A and B are shown apart, each in its own frame.
Chain A
Amino acid sequence: MNLENHERAKKLLTMRRVEGIPAVEEQWLEDHLAHCDACSSAAQALTDAITAVRSFSVTARPEAVRRASAAVRLRAEQMRQERERTIPIWIAAAMSAALAILTTPYTWAAFAWMGRLLHVSDIAWQVGFLMWWFLPATIVGAVAARRRVASNQEAL
């Protein structure tokens, strides 16, 4: 048997365990192992190594499991409270959005009237209208972002 065959056999031995080999290669390997003591020993060493990995056993202690379960329950309760706290905010946001949509034509008319009264250009009162529309959301967004950053820093 030449060196090339041994090298091929050793390569196939590992490949068989890692990603599998085609049936033809499998057959060739089995034939080779049947007649080659060195490669047969290498195959056995590989089997022993894998058996060793499979024999590695760790058992979770009941105390650790109980602690994990308690931590999960505590966090679930915190999350429930957080959800409850945000419900009024969502309701308020929804009502505010609905009101804003319903009153838009009147607000627009009011800005147009004020623009005429104060003799400002159309673009000026229209910009004022846009600011009236977006400013509250921008302020709330900025405050929320600031609070989030602060709470992340606290967590660290």
Chain B
Amino acid sequence: MEQDRVKLAQALRSGDPEVLDTLIERYQHRLLRYLVSITGNRATAEDIFQDTWVRVLERGHQYSEQWKFEVWLFSIARHLVIDWSRRKKGDSLDALMNPDEGAGFEPAASTASPFDNVLAGESAARMAQVLERIPAAYREVLMLRFQEDLALEEMANIIKAPLSTVKSRLYRGLDALRQEIEGSTI
């Protein structure tokens, strides 16, 4: 595994678009899912999806093999989401991702029910609605933990927050999710 990362780091330093194609192929769904989960909007997520890969190409030399590639990838994607949201709404970084300040990071959706566009099937759509009602900061950590199976330290690295913040968001997020599910009878 460690050797794979060393090879990947070398390949990324070369800036070869073929390497990027392989990575896009491998991580396309996971990256888009993460982006949709934090932006709540598929069109925006797809724009940032593209920008993320361009940034991976530009910053390939900065990838360190001490981290899983997806941790670095999500970290780049997250930065781009924050940049995008700042440009769009002029919000501060704290206000964007702090669930204690208002609704937290909830970019305006271009359609009434963005997750509906993303998911197929009634149950999945209901689940999407449940997730939509949870503040983005909680949704993000829940996805990283239970979809991506990332360690707490890796999550802290992505969201650039102390471990205690990651844990507290997970506890609150699980609590919020449980309440939403009980309320919606999925």
Contact = CB atoms under 8 A, between A and B. Distances in A.
A53 B33 CA distance: 11
A73 B17 contact: yes
A48 B177 CA distance: 10
B53 A68 contact: yes
Contacts of A14: 171, 174-175
Contacts, number: 117
Interface stretch (A58-66, A99-107, A112-120, A128-136): A58-66
A71 B128 CA distance: 30
B157 to A, nearest CB: 16
Interface stretch (B4-12, B24-32, B65-73, B89-97): B24-32
A46 B124 CA distance: 18
B57 A57 contact: no
Nearest to A45: B178
Interface of B: 15-17, 20-21, 24-25, 28-29, 31-33, 36-37, 42, 45-46, 49-51, 53-54, 56-58, 118-119, 123-124, 127-128, 130-131, 142-143, 145-147, 152, 167, 170-171, 174-175, 177-178, 181-182, 186
Given A53-B177, A56-B147, 5 more contacts: A45-B182, A52-B131, A52-B186, A58-B36, A64-B32
Interface of A: 14, 17-19, 45-46, 48-50, 52-61, 64-65, 67-69, 71-73, 75-76, 79
